[in-house]
Amino acid sequence: MSCKINSLSPPFPCKLCTKKSKFRRRRRSTIFFSFSSEKQENTISTSIEPSTTESYTVSFKTEKGCKLEISRYPDFEYDAEGGIGTGVGAKVTENSTESDLPVSFDLETLYIPPLTSSTTKFLGLPLPPFLKIDIVPQAFQGSINQESGKVDLEFKARFIFSAGSLYKAAPLLVKTVLTSEESKGIVKSGRGKRLDKEGKCRLVGVATVDPIDDFLMNSFLGLPTECLADLKAVISISSSS
C-alpha cells in the first residue's frame, strides 16, 4: 500500500537574516515507514514531491505623523521619518492558494529614529533637549497579504530612557503585533490602515509594559501599564527569484 503526501512548507525562521536568503527547490526524498508482527511484515513508502519557493525583497520605511501613547499621559507626537529596514519573504507557490507572504527583517538594517527634541512633541512642545528615548529592535517579522493589504508584524524592542549623562534607565521591553487591523488592550486601542497601491499603511499595536528594576521609572510611568504605537509606514515588495 502506498500514499503520496505533499510536504508542508516550514515556518519562516524566527532568526532574522543578515544576508539575502537564497531559496531553492527542495530535493525529492523518500521516507520509509515499517512495522512488523509475528505473522507479517509490511513496508509503506511515502514520496515527498519537490515544491517551488518564490523569494521576495521587502523594504520598510516609517514616515511623519506617528504617535505614541503610554500610561495616563497625553499622546507623544512622533516624526519617525527616516526609519528604514530591509527584509526577505518566501512563499511556496506550488499547489498553494495562500496569499500571505511570510517576511522577516534584518535587524542590522532596521533603524527606528529615537524620541528626541527634534522628532517628538509633548503637549505641542518639543521634548527637553536632554531627554532621549532610544528604540533598539529585537525582532521584526510576520506576514503581509499582498491581495488584501493586511499586515501583521511581530515587533519587539527595548526602549531606553536617558537624561544626558546624568541618568539612564534600565531598558523597557515592549512586545506587540503591529497590525493594519484593530489592536485592542484593556485600556488602549487603535485601528490601522491596510496597504494601498503605493504601499502606504498605518500600523498600530498595543503592548503591556512590565515594571523594571528602577523605582523612578516605575513610579513615573505607573508600571505596569499599556502603551500604543501608531506608525505611518511604506512597505515595498519586489520579487527576487
DSSP state of 106: -
28, pLDDT greater than 70: no
The cell numbers describing 80, all together, are: 519617525
The contacts of residue 212 (CB under 8 Å, 6+ apart) are: 169, 170, 171, 172, 218, 223
Strand 41-48 vs strand 2-4: parallel, antiparallel, or unpaired?
parallel
Q: What is the model's pLDDT at position 99? A: 83
31-56 pLDDT, tens digit each: 333 434 444 444 444 333 445 688 99
The contacts of residue 132 (CB under 8 Å, 6+ apart) are: 114, 115, 116, 161, 162, 163
Give residue limits of the domains in the chain. 6-48, 55-239
115, pLDDT greater than 90: yes
85-105 pLDDT, tens digit each: 999 998 866 555 568 999 999
Question: Is residue 226 within 8 Å of residue 187, measured between CB atoms?
Answer: yes
Q: What is the model's pLDDT at position 153? A: 98
Give CA torsion, residues 182, 186, 187, 188, to 10 deg. Answer: -20
Q: What is the model's pLDDT at position 2? A: 44
Per cent of the chain over pLDDT 90 is 71
What mean pLDDT do residues 203-215 have? 96
126-177 pLDDT, tens digit each: 999 999 999 999 999 999 999 999 999 999 999 999 999 999 999 999 999 9
Rounded to the nearest 5 degrees, what angle is found at the Cα of 234, between the Cα atoms of 228 and 240?
125
Alpha helices in the chain (DSSP H): 215-221
Per cent of the chain over pLDDT 70 is 75
Residue whose C-alpha cell is 493589504: 149
Give residue 219's region: left, alpha or beta (phi > 0; psi -120 to 50): alpha
Q: CB 179: neighbour CB atoms within 10 A?
A: 24
Whole-angstrom distance, CA of residue 56 vs CA of residue 91: 8
What mean pLDDT do residues 44-69 have? 78
